[in-house]
Amino acid sequence: MQDSSAVSPIDVLAIAAHRDDVEQTCGGTLLRMADRRLRTGILDLTCGESGTRGTAAERAAEAAAAASILRVAHREALSFPDGAIENSLANRIAIARVLRRLRPRVVILPYGEARHPDHAICASLGYQACFLAGLANFSSGDLGPDAPHRPFKILYASLYADVRPSFIVDITPYIETRLQSLLAYRSQYGDHIQGSGLFVPEQEIRERTFAEARHYGLLAGVRYGEPFVQREVGLVDDLTLIPVQSI
């Protein structure tokens, strides 16, 4: 994990199980937030040591390159076991310490129904860590020296989930840069013999990622989009300013 004792507060923090998850599901959104001069960050829970392709060291270098492309202000990784993340008190405390240090207003988590067990557990683990980080008098474990902090908004990146999004973020200006952040993971998305039956061939990555973004963009009347789910209801101040045309 990076030494981040002097890190300034983060506006939007994306938490994911693996390096490259954020690039796939909400990389365009982080780029859009960076253009709004918001400080963005990524917390990867594992180092990728159990992946079919690439070593943890290779993926660390690739993650740093991708973070630069996405213009995130801060990225770090915890050392939860890849492929065996547990929703344990120790893991909740580890994430809560990061939340107290980075103090994000918005946290993005993976959607809770997923093919990979790590992704599903990350959703519940991240939510519970957000709650824990705000408890001023929690004493069962060391939450670190920073003051209690609870994010204002928790969102779920639902790109791969069969669920109706609560809203779409227009990533049309960022679609090419988003793709480049994903392709920074050469160990994962380059053409290799190892794992060729499990991984999308490199020549298909652009087509698939653009098709997914196009699908969600069409739902919101834009060219390319990324979908999100929020658990709470929305609030509208002016009915004439609600985006997305009905007819």
Asked if 209 and 160 touch (Cβ cutoff 8 Å), the reply is no
Number of domains in the chain: 1
Range scoring the smallest mean pLDDT among 58-72, 113-127, 154-168, 191-205: 191-205
Per-residue burial over 176-188, b if 16 or more Cβ lie within 10 Å, else e, is eebbebbbbbbbb
Report which DSSP code applies to 7.
Answer: P
Query: Can you tell me the mean pLDDT for 183-191?
Result: 79
Structure tokens at 166: 């609560």
- Whether 6 is in a domain gets the answer no
Q: Which helix (H) or strand (E) holds 216?
A: helix 202-220
- Whether 4 is in a domain gets the answer no
- Whether 3 is in a domain gets the answer no
The parent domain of residue 97 ranges over 12-241
Task: Give helix then strand counts, H and E, for the chain.
Answer: 8, 7
- Whole-number pLDDT of residue 197: 55
Q: What percent of the chain has pLDDT over 90?
A: 75
- Whether 85 is in a domain gets the answer yes
- Whether 86 is in a domain gets the answer yes
- Whether 137 is in a domain gets the answer yes
Mean pLDDT of the chain: 90
Which domain CATH number covers 100?
3.40.50.10320
The tens digit of pLDDT for each residue in 96-153 reads 999 999 999 999 999 988 788 899 999 999 999 999 999 999 877 788 899 999 999 9
- Whole-number pLDDT of residue 190: 60
- Whether 5 is in a domain gets the answer no
Nearest residue to 187 via CA among 77, 29, 61: 61
CA separation for the pair 127, 155 (Å, rounded)? 10
- The CA angle 62-63-65, to the nearest 5 degrees, is 65
pTM greater than the 0.75 cutoff? yes
CA separation for the pair 133, 104 (Å, rounded)? 11
- Whether 147 is in a domain gets the answer yes
